[in-house]
DNA sequence: GGACCAGGATCTGACGTCTTA
DNA sequence: GTAAGACGTCAGATCCTGGTC
């Protein structure tokens, strides 16, 4: 099946191709009557713009690329929502891809985006502590989110993970806990490192030492966290507080404690991170550290829009302050 | 900044533009030595194909469009994963958009996809019981998933929701429950309707009548389900079993029962739907009806690939049999 | 009557790649 | 291996037409 093109409309309307183009693009210097007439004809014929041709000629592409690490992750899903809302307002479309935390894959996705000449990109750099991709070199405005990245980036939007760690520590101390542990993500990402470091610092400020063997790392799934926590809690009976990398893992940890007949919060306090929508419905409902996910997505996309429209927009580094949410755990 | 183009490479390599194109596309009738030389030069110069130009000329587009209703939904996220894996093998990319269950939005997204001349589309039709979009008319191979859709579609891949209802009923009956209720999704979608009907049928086969006022509908969020369930359980003390539209809503329902001091499963059994990854970690872990989400995504995408490569591929209607997963709830 | 003008439409060519000869 | 042209759209320049001073 062949698509209708400007030429077909031009023939039917008895005008030049260019006139049709101007009419459909709402350009000036075209009579209202002809414009309306042409638009009606185009509609009737079921015309749908060939975006490739349009982009090739005009060099304009109202599409941005987004690379996250995992689609099936409530945290990123919420960020995507924010991004999407911000760009929809300006009639942009989002091409979202996921790297699976794989550097090679991320590189190839980036190539796909540039190949499509997207107007800009928003990237969660996979394994950012060892990621040496040079985003500055891709020739497209870009913003890094969630993680800082290794290379200098034009702008980034992150949640202050060091502060998360501090707040977690302060909370545990305040609750009278003296034997804390951390279950984190086993890949070299700055947000995990910062969270650990903040946690250590916060505890030390209260003269509590977080021992090496109370810092555990595993995959960022409830399954892995369940296994890790089970193993750990079986061996270390003193533990009275656990800070977990994210809510999804915390769910696994809660379940592990439950299965070991360890009471929450009487025997052990559990603190998650991110404040995913479901966490308030868990039993016990999950105390956590809230990250403004939607806002982070929305703001970063807005900034990207600014970068796109004004290539000289200043660099912008935004770090949101996370918020402690105390619930039942 | 200007991108490198074939012309630039041709100049540097002292060959014609066409030769460069053939070299990069791995065409025959080009010497191995020149091919390698050209590819090296292209690499050094940092050449990245202009996909728009390529598509315009070749009419080939290794991109498929996917329209789901909500990105921030574990069920769809898992399906997307399946789709993505299936098409990645063939080096296709997925442009995933979400309609928010809004018909107008879906229409406009469809237009975006066609405008980009995607090779094919996979669609979750929003509100399919009143959706009159004519997918056959978009001039692109398409497959409907999750919901049947109103219009005749070339192919669809769904989970048999009627059977889900039947199985839910059989399970409750077998457990000796005699006062069941259903909490569903308040939009006109076939999977909800079929689930209710199957549930009614299954109960009736055991001579149990599901009364009208024990069928409730609300938004598909834990929040809405929590509210609806709280209200409902407060008034109808006889209820001993609740079938819920999906796991995410079931989480809200579990919490509602918990807050009302209704014991699960002693006082009431709760059965979810979908078997989302988290549900086995809930407390109590959620009994549910498993839908082969990943497989549904993978298979439908594979079929789409077949449709794309052979426009005469036969219509295919696949309906997966859901599986009852009994856990603690 | 000629010069000037503005709005409205047309003509030509180019975007970067790939197909055909 | 080359050369020429086409894919569909749009930017830029050009050309009308009729009205004014």
CB contact under 8 A, B71 and A56: no
**CA–C1' nearest nucleotide, residue A19:** C9
pLDDT of residue A219: 97
Distance of C1' in C9 from CA in A6, Å? 16
Q: Please tell me what DSSP assigns to residue A327.
A: -
A166 with A269, same domain?
yes
| Within-domain flag for A328 | no
Which CATH number does the domain housing residue A23 bear?
A: 1.10.260.40
- How many distinct structural domains can be found in chain B? 3
Q: Summarize pLDDT for B261-285 with one digit per residue, the tens.
A: 999 999 999 999 999 999 999 999 9
CA distance A159 to chain B (A): 20
Identify the residue among B52, B112, B114, B329 best suited for mutation to test binding to A, counting A beta carbons within 10 A and taking the highest.
B52
| Within-domain flag for A248 | yes
pLDDT of residue A152: 65
CA distance B50 to chain A (A): 5
CA distance B168 to B188: 21
A203 with A267, same domain?
yes
Among A81, A95, A248, whose Cβ lies nearest the Cβ of B72? A81
pLDDT of residue B151: 67
| Within-domain flag for B255 | yes
Distance of C1' in D17 from CA in A39, Å? 24
Q: SS in 3 state form for chain B?
A: CCCCCHHHHHHHHCCCHHHHHHHHCCCCCCCHHHHHHHHHHHHHHCCCCCHHHHHHHHCCCCEEEEEECCCCCHHHHHHHHHHHHHHHCCCCEEEEEECCCCHHHHHHHHHHHHHCCCCEEEECCCCCCCCCCCHHHHCCCEEEECCCCCCCCCEEEEECHHHHHHHHHHHHHHCCCCCEEEEEECCCCHHHHHHHHHHHHHHHHCCCCCCHHHEEEECCCHHHHHHHHHHHHHHCCCCCEEEECCHHHHHHHHHHHHHCCCCCCCCCEEECCECCHHHHHCCCCCEEEECCHHHHHHHHHHHHHHHHHCCCCCCEEEEECCEEECCCC
Among A50, A56, A251, whose Cβ lies nearest the Cβ of B53? A56
CB contact under 8 A, B277 and A222: yes
How sure is the predictor about A276, in pLDDT bands with cuts at 50, 70 and 90?
very high
Residues 103-162 of A with CB under 8 A from B: 111-112, 114-117, 137, 139
CA distance A210 to chain B (A): 28
| Within-domain flag for A13 | yes
Q: Enumerate the β-bridge partners of residue B143.
A: B122
Among B53, B61, B72, whose Cβ lies nearest the Cβ of A77? B72
Residue nearest to nucleotide C13 (CA to C1'): A57
Q: Summarize pLDDT for A189-202 with one digit per residue, the tens.
A: 999 999 999 999 99
**Which is higher by pLDDT, B2 or B269?**
B269
Residues 180-239 of A with CB under 8 A from B: 221-222, 226
CB contact under 8 A, A222 and B74: no
- Which nucleotides of chain C does any protein CB come within 7 A of? 7-20
From chain B, the residues in CB contact with A46 under 8 A are 137
| Within-domain flag for A154 | yes
Residue nearest to nucleotide D12 (CA to C1'): A18
pLDDT of residue A138: 86
The answer to whether B95 contacts chain A (CB < 8 Å) is yes
Q: Summarize pLDDT for A91-132 with one digit per residue, the tens.
A: 999 999 999 999 999 999 999 999 999 999 999 999 999 988
The answer to whether B99 contacts chain A (CB < 8 Å) is no
| Within-domain flag for B326 | no
pLDDT of residue A172: 97
Q: Summarize pLDDT for B70-86 with one digit per residue, the tens.
A: 988 999 999 999 999 99
A110 with A213, same domain?
no
Among A78, A95, A282, whose Cβ lies nearest the Cβ of B72? A78
Whether any strand C atom is under 7 angstroms from the Cβ of A52: the reply reads: no
CB contact under 8 A, A254 and B52: no
Q: Within a 13 Å sphere around the CA of A251, how many CA atoms are in the beta-carbon half?
A: 25
Q: Summarize pLDDT for A151-209 with one digit per residue, the tens.
A: 667 789 999 999 999 999 999 999 999 999 999 999 999 999 999 999 999 999 999 99
A224 with A105, same domain?
no
pLDDT of residue B136: 81
Distance of C1' in C11 from CA in A22, Å? 14
Whether any strand C atom is under 7 angstroms from the Cβ of A212: the reply reads: no
How sure is the predictor about A274, in pLDDT bands with cuts at 50, 70 and 90?
very high
- B317 pLDDT higher than 70: yes
Q: Which helix (H) or strand (E) holds A229?
A: helix A222-235
A74 with A45, same domain?
no
- B1 pLDDT higher than 80: no
From chain B, the residues in CB contact with A254 under 8 A are 281, 283
- A48 pLDDT higher than 70: yes
Query: Residues of chain B with pLDDT > 70: what percent?
Result: 99
pLDDT of residue A151: 67
Among A93, A116, A248, whose Cβ lies nearest the Cβ of B51? A116
Instruction: Please give the mean pLDDT across all residues of chain A.
Output: 94
CA distance A47 to chain B (A): 9
pLDDT of residue A153: 72
Distance of C1' in C17 from CA in B24, Å? 12
B168 with B281, same domain?
yes
CA distance A278 to B265: 21
Q: Summarize pLDDT for A138-153 with one digit per residue, the tens.
A: 889 999 999 987 766 7
CB contact under 8 A, B73 and A73: no
Read off the pLDDT of each residue in B288-314 and give the average, rounded to a whole number. Answer: 93
A283 with A303, same domain?
no
Identify the residue among B1, B84, B256, B283 best suited for mutation to test binding to A, counting A beta carbons within 10 A and taking the highest.
B283
Identify the residue among B62, B281, B285 best suited for mutation to test binding to A, counting A beta carbons within 10 A and taking the highest.
B281
From chain B, the residues in CB contact with A116 under 8 A are 51-52
B303 with B263, same domain?
no
Whether any strand C atom is under 7 angstroms from the Cβ of A150: the reply reads: no
Structural domain span for residue A41: 6-49
| Within-domain flag for A1 | no
CB contact under 8 A, B226 and A53: no
How many angstroms separate the first and last alpha carbons of chain B? 60
The answer to whether B3 contacts chain A (CB < 8 Å) is yes
A96 with A153, same domain?
yes
A87 with A169, same domain?
no
A270 with A311, same domain?
no
| Within-domain flag for B55 | no
Whether any strand C atom is under 7 angstroms from the Cβ of B16: the reply reads: no
How sure is the predictor about A137, in pLDDT bands with cuts at 50, 70 and 90?
confident
A31 with A133, same domain?
no
- Cis status of the peptide bond prior to A265, with omega within 30 of 0: yes
- B149 pLDDT higher than 90: no
Whether any strand C atom is under 7 angstroms from the Cβ of B49: the reply reads: yes
Q: Are A269 and A241 in contact (CB under 8 A)?
A: yes
Phi, psi of B326 (to 5 degrees): -95, 125
Structure tokens at B23: 């070299």
Instruction: Please give the mean pLDDT across all residues of chain B.
Output: 94
Q: Please tell me what DSSP assigns to residue A274.
A: B
Which CATH number does the domain housing residue B138 bear?
A: 3.40.50.2300
């Amino acid at each position: 099946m062949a698509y209708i093109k400007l030429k077909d409309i031009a023939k039917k309307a008895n005008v030049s191709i260019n006139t049709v183009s101007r009419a459909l693009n709402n350009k000036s210097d075209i009579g209202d009557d002809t414009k309306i007439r042409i638009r009606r004809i185009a509609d009737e014929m079921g015309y749908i713009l060939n975006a490739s041709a349009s982009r090739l000629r005009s060099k304009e592409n109202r599409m941005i690329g987004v690379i996250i690490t995992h689609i099936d992750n409530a945290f990123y899903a919420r960020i995507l929502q924010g991004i999407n809302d911000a760009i929809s307002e300006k009639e942009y479309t989002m091409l979202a891809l996921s790297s699976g935390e794989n550097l090679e894959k991320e590189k190839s996705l980036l190539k796909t985006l540039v190949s499509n000449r997207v107007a800009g990109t928003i990237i969660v750099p996979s394994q950012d502590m060892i990621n040496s991709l040079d985003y500055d070199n891709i020739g497209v405005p870009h913003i890094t989110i969630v993680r800082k990245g290794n290379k200098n980036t034009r702008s980034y939007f992150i949640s202050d993970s060091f502060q998360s760690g501090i707040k977690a520590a302060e909370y545990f101390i305040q609750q009278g806990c003296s034997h804390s542990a951390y279950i984190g993500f086993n890949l070299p990402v700055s947000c995990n490192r910062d969270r650990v470091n903040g946690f250590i610092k916060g505890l030390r400020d209260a003269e509590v030492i977080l021992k090496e063997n109370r810092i555990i790392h595993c995959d960022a799934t409830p399954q892995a966290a369940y296994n890790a926590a089970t193993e750990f809690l079986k061996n270390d009976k003193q533990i009275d507080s656990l800070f977990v990398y994210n809510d999804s893992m915390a769910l696994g940890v809660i379940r592990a404690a439950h299965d070991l007949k360890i009471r929450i919060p009487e025997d052990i306090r559990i603190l998650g991170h991110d404040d995913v929508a479901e966490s308030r419905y868990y039993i016990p409902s999950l105390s956590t550290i809230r990250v403004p996910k939607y806002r982070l997505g929305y703001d970063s996309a807005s900034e990207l829009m600014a970068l796109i429209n004004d290539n000289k927009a200043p660099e912008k580094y935004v770090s949101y302050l996370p918020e402690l949410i105390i619930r039942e755990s």
